[in-house]
């Protein structure tokens, strides 16, 4: 008996001693990866020249009237307007990037170098900074490509396949948070395919590896030292939540920037919205997937191919379209001029259509109301884009009549979004007055709603009537 107790005690002690070793062996070792990959990560310094007179003009532009200090401000502004321009002030910012070729091409975020007059990069362990030239940038994916202006062989990092990344996989981020050169953080992949409203092609990798201001543009690495993401965004109110642009997307964009100094994307020429369960049921779809065509822009590829409002695009080149965001990203991934095969859902059955893509033009997108007939023009109010609902849309959504304004877009952080107005909503009344055109809504916003400080919308959503109230700013 005594011998058995002695043996059990010895076993317990052995397990207690070995447990930390076992746990330690299960964790990855980052030292070699940090040392090797860190050599190809750069600290990016930018300088922007800002005229101080422009800053003062902004100050006077936004100051409020009706205060006891108006006389003082009037005299100061009068003197300021007649004063010579002050010496420009330098605004500096910091960011990160990484080298992808031995001759010095550097990948970073567009927002790191946007509007910069000077760009300099510094490598780990080096005192000297190098001038960098902007080769090209793509605001829609927040990517930019730089070239270091010096002849030498640089250490490099290579892109990995972000499509193969799995949730729970270990990753490491390198960057310059808060100006602290070459900081290394580690964590796991928290989620994939995140849409955070930062751009039309959101498809972020979410990670709990610490990402802070200054990390932007730096690499997110797998344990093989491959870049599987470009650290880009954080949520100010959250801790341990960072977002990276997938390497598979970035690789295509960077290749175009290197070859052409710009990015060309496919364009179909439609406005789209999500398909929820109620919409799928109304259209006879077996499940909620695909992208519902809200409208077709005249003389664009979709109209030429025979696509109509009310169609649902459920497949591209034999691959299922998950949702409206998936459709947008997939179409944009093709080169303009490519002929693609589409599978659409029309009248409760599948139909094959071929379309030759045009080229996505951001300027044309921003002037979208000029691309449609006058009675279908869109306009933007309070962060939402609206236009008259069509008869095809009314039928698809189960509306009794084609009257009202359909919401095609809602800007992130806008008053409309804060009041839970959603794309696909149909506004039938504003402040208890019927609205049929964007002009009707504009008149109510600038009149009755402005006087009351509030806009009350009656909305048709998924077969139900709901009210949404938007509080208007006093100015």
The C-alpha R_g of the chain, in whole angstroms, comes to 28
Among residues 216, 295, 324, 378, which one is catalytic?
Answer: 216
pLDDT above 90: residue 155: yes
At 282-325, the pLDDT tens digits run 888 999 999 988 778 888 999 999 999 889 999 999 999 999 88
Interval 157-180 mean pLDDT: 93
Q: How many angstroms separate the Cα of 127 from the Cα of each of 9, 40, 117? A: 58, 15, 22
What is the predicted pLDDT for the residue at 233?
Answer: 85
CB atoms < 10 A from the CB of 82, how many? Answer: 7
Is position 117 annotated as part of the catalytic site? no
At 401-452, the pLDDT tens digits run 888 999 888 887 788 888 889 888 899 999 889 999 898 999 999 888 888 8
CATH number listed for the domain at residues 374-471 = 2.30.42.10
Is position 182 annotated as part of the catalytic site? no
143 close to 114: Cβ distance less than 8 angstroms:
no
The tokens of 150 are what?
């010096």
Interval 176-205 mean pLDDT: 87
Residues 6+ apart with CB under 8 A from 287: 280
The model's confidence at residue 368, banded by pLDDT at 50, 70 and 90, is very low
Domain 38-148 belongs to what topology?
Thrombin, subunit H (2.40.10)
- Which residues of the chain does CATH 2.40.10.10 include? 38-148, 162-260
Alpha carbon distance 210, 187 (integer Å)? 8
CATH number listed for the domain at residues 162-260 = 2.40.10.10
Architecture of domain 266-363: Roll (2.30)
What is the predicted pLDDT for the residue at 126?
Answer: 87
Q: How far apart are the first and last CA of the chain?
A: 88
Among residues 45, 93, 96, 111, which one is catalytic?
Answer: 111
At 34-43, the pLDDT tens digits run 999 999 999 9
- Main-chain dihedrals φ then ψ at residue 194, nearest 5 degrees: -75, 135
Binding residues: 111, 142, 214-216, 232-236
At 78-117, the pLDDT tens digits run 555 555 555 667 777 789 999 999 999 999 999 999 888 8
Alpha carbon distance 56, 327 (integer Å)? 45
- Mean pLDDT score of the chain: 83
- Greater pLDDT, 11 or 384: 384
Place of tokens 């307007």: 81
pLDDT above 60: residue 470: yes
pLDDT above 60: residue 373: no
Q: How many angstroms separate the Cα of 265 from the Cα of each of 193, 252, 359? A: 20, 11, 6
Alpha carbon distance 396, 351 (integer Å)? 17
To the nearest 10 degrees (0 to 180), the angle between helices 52-62 and 70-82 is 150
Question: Which of 112, 231, 234 is closest to 183 using CA atoms?
Answer: 231
Binding residues for substrate: 111, 142, 214-216, 232-236
- Greater pLDDT, 230 or 272: 230
Greatest mean pLDDT among 166-170, 230-234, 469-473 lies in 166-170
pLDDT above 80: residue 180: yes
- Which residues of the chain does CATH 2.30.42.10 include? 266-363, 374-471
Alpha carbon distance 222, 209 (integer Å)? 12
- Greater pLDDT, 195 or 175: 175
Measured at the alpha carbon of residue 263, what is the angle toward residues 258 and 268, in degrees to the nearest 5? 155
What is the predicted pLDDT for the residue at 212?
Answer: 84
Q: Over the range 241-278, which residues count as b (16 or more CB within 10 Å of their CB) and which as e?
A: bbbbbbbbbbbbbbebbbeeeebebbbbbbbbbbbeee
What is the predicted pLDDT for the residue at 372?
Answer: 41
pLDDT above 60: residue 399: yes
Among residues 142, 181, 311, 326, which one is catalytic?
Answer: 142
Contacts 24+ apart (CB under 8 A), 23-29: 28/170, 28/186, 28/223
The tokens of 389 are what?
């609902």
What is the predicted pLDDT for the residue at 352?
Answer: 96
Alpha carbon distance 229, 243 (integer Å)? 9
Alpha carbon distance 452, 440 (integer Å)? 17
245 close to 254: Cβ distance less than 8 angstroms:
no
Q: How many angstroms separate the Cα of 202 from the Cα of each of 18, 137, 142, 193, 461? A: 46, 17, 10, 8, 25
Alpha carbon distance 98, 94 (integer Å)? 14
Alpha carbon distance 443, 30 (integer Å)? 61
12 close to 4: Cβ distance less than 8 angstroms:
no
Interval 177-191 mean pLDDT: 90
């Amino acid at each position: 008996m005594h011998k058995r107790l002695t043996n059990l005690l010895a076993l317990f002690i052995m397990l207690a001693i070995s447990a930390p070793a076992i746990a330690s062996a299960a964790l990855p070792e980052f030292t070699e990866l940090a040392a090797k990959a860190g050599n190809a990560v750069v600290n990016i310094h930018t300088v922007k020249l800002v005229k101080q007179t422009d800053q003062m003009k902004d100050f006077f532009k936004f100051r409020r009237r009706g205060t006891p200090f108006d006389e003082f401000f009037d005299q100061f502004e009068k003197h300021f307007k007649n004063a010579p321009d002050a010496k420009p002030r330098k605004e500096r910012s910091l960011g990160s990037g990484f080298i992808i070729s031995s001759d010095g091409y550097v990948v970073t975020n567009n927002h790191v170098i946007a509007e910069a007059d000077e760009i300099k990069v510094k490598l780990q362990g080096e005192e000297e900074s190098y001038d960098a030239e902007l080769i090209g940038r793509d605001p829609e994916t927040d990517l930019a490509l730089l070239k270091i202006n010096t002849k030498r062989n640089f250490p490099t990092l290579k892109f990995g396949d972000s499509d193969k990344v799995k949730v729970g996989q270990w990753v490491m981020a390198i960057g310059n948070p808060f100006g602290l050169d070459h900081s290394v953080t580690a964590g796991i992949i928290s989620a994939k395919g995140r849409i955070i409203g930062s751009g039309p092609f959101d498809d972020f990798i979410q990670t709990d590896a610490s990402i802070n201001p200054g990390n932007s543009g730096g690499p997110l690495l797998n344990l093989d030292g491959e870049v599987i993401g470009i650290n880009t965004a954080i949520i100010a109110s959250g801790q341990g939540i960072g977002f990276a642009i997938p390497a598979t997307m970035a690789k295509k964009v960077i290749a175009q920037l290197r070859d052409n100094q710009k990015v060309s994307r496919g364009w179909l020429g439609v406005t789209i919205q999500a398909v929820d369960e109620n919409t799928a049921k109304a259209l006879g779809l077996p499940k909620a997937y695909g992208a519902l065509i809200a409208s077709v822009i005249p003389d664009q590829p979709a109209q030429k191919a025979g696509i109509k409002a009310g169609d649902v695009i459920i497949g591209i080149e034999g691959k299922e379209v998950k949702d409206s965001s998936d459709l947008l990203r997939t179409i944009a991934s093709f080169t303009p001029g490519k002929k693609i095969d589409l599978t659409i859902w029309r009248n409760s059955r599948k139909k094959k259509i071929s379309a030759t893509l045009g080229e996505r033009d951001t300027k044309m997108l921003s002037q979208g109301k000029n691309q449609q007939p006058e009675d279908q023009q869109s306009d933007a109010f309070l962060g939402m884009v609206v236009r008259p609902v069509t008869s095809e849309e009314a039928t698809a959504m189960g509306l009794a009549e084609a009257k009202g304004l359909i919401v095609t877009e809602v800007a992130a952080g806008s008053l409309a979004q804060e009041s839970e107005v959603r794309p696909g909503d149909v506004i039938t009344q504003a402040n208890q007055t019927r609205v049929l055109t964007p002009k009707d809504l504009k008149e109510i916003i600038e009149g009755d709603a402005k006087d009351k400080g509030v806009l009350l919308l009656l909305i048709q959503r998924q077969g139900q009537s709901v009210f949404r109230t938007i509080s208007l700013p006093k100015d």
